[in-house]
């Protein structure tokens, strides 16, 4: 693991440093996969998308000079790549089932309303800290495990020796608290 600040890392990326690149892959790969899978509901396609994102940032590393927020940049690229993929799937796979087609449409709508601007990445930490502070330490721990460590509910339950129902309840509760806090960033449907 490289011990660099975000700024240093971005500078190294801009010069095409492959170690810095490998480090970014290491830190973000899982999370971007998780994100893509959330909207695409297909692991292979999600992998393709993330692979494409890393290919793009490697090939266009000179653009990193303009990047201010690495997370925002990567999630925005992934979001756009997912949208492109959905568009492509809808055209290329005519044989797609009716249900799959509907699900893709829903993902497309949700995703296009998703804010991945640097603003949200900069604010979200303080929002999380403030809101999650209202929860019990255990609930907070459970939520963080699911949020950052990509753990399944079952694994969290095993690790903390509690029932899976408790885990689910805690996560639902955390989301309920977060929702009003994140309200201004959540999608608004325009008529």
Partner 1 sequence: MNKEKLHKFTLNKLSKESEIEEVLNWIESSEENKQEFETLKNLWAMAGFANYEDYAGKKSCKTQKLGKKRVIPMYLLKYAAIFVLAFFIGSTSVYFLWNKESNELVWNEIIIPDGESAEIYLSDNTHIWLNSNSKLTYPQKFEGKTRDVKLSGEAYFDVSHNPENPFFVQTPELTVAVKGTSFNVQAYNSDDEVNVTLIKGKVSLQSPKGKFVSELSPGENAKFDLTKKTISLSKADTEFYTSWKDGYLVFKNETLEDIVRKFERWYNITVIFDDEEIKQIEFTGTIMKNKPIDQIFNILKYTAGIDYSFEIINHKPSIIHLKKKSM
Q: Are 49 and 35 in contact (CB under 8 A)?
A: no
User: Which one of residues 60, 154, 163, 184 is an interface residue with partner 1 (CB under 8 A)?
Assistant: 154
The widest CA-to-CA distance across the chain, in whole angstroms, is: 49
Q: Does 9 bind partner 1 (CB under 8 A)?
A: yes
Q: What whole-number distance in Å separates Cα of residue 115 and Cα of residue 105?
A: 18
Report the 10 Å Cβ neighbour count for 83: 17
Which is closer to partner 1, CB of 113 or CB of 136? 113
Q: Does 51 bind partner 1 (CB under 8 A)?
A: yes
User: Which one of residues 66, 94, 133, 148 is an interface residue with partner 1 (CB under 8 A)?
Assistant: 148
Which is closer to partner 1, CB of 27 or CB of 83? 27
Q: Does 54 bind partner 1 (CB under 8 A)?
A: yes
Task: Candidates 13-21, 87-95, 134-142: pick the segment binding partner 1 (CB under 8 A).
Answer: 13-21
User: How far apart are CB 158 and partner 1 at their closest, in Å?
Assistant: 7
User: How far apart are CB 159 and partner 1 at their closest, in Å?
Assistant: 8
Q: Does 8 bind partner 1 (CB under 8 A)?
A: no
Which is closer to partner 1, CB of 18 or CB of 87? 18
Task: Candidates 69-77, 83-91, 133-141: pick the segment binding partner 1 (CB under 8 A).
Answer: 69-77
Q: Does 21 bind partner 1 (CB under 8 A)?
A: yes
């Amino acid at each position: 693991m490289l011990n660099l600040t975000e700024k240093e890392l971005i500078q190294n990326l801009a010069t095409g440093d492959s170690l810095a690149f490998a480090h970014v892959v290491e830190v973000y790969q899982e999370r971007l996969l998780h994100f893509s899978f959330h909207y695409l509901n297909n692991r292979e396609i999600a992998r393709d998308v993330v692979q494409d994102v890393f290919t793009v940032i490697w090939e266009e590393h000179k653009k990193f000079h303009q990047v201010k927020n690495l997370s925002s940049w990567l999630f925005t690229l992934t979001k756009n790549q997912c949208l492109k993929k959905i568009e492509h799937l809808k055209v290329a796979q005519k044989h797609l089932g009716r249900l799959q087609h509907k699900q893709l449409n829903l993902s497309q709508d949700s995703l296009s309303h998703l804010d991945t601007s640097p603003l949200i990445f900069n604010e979200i930490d303080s929002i999380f800290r403030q809101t999650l502070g209202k929860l019990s330490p255990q609930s907070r721990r459970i939520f963080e495990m699911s949020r950052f460590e990509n753990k399944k509910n079952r694994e969290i339950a095993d690790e903390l020796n509690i029932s899976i129902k408790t885990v689910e309840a805690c996560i639902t509760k955390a989301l309920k608290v977060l929702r009003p806090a994140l309200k201004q960033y959540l999608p608004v449907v325009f008529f």
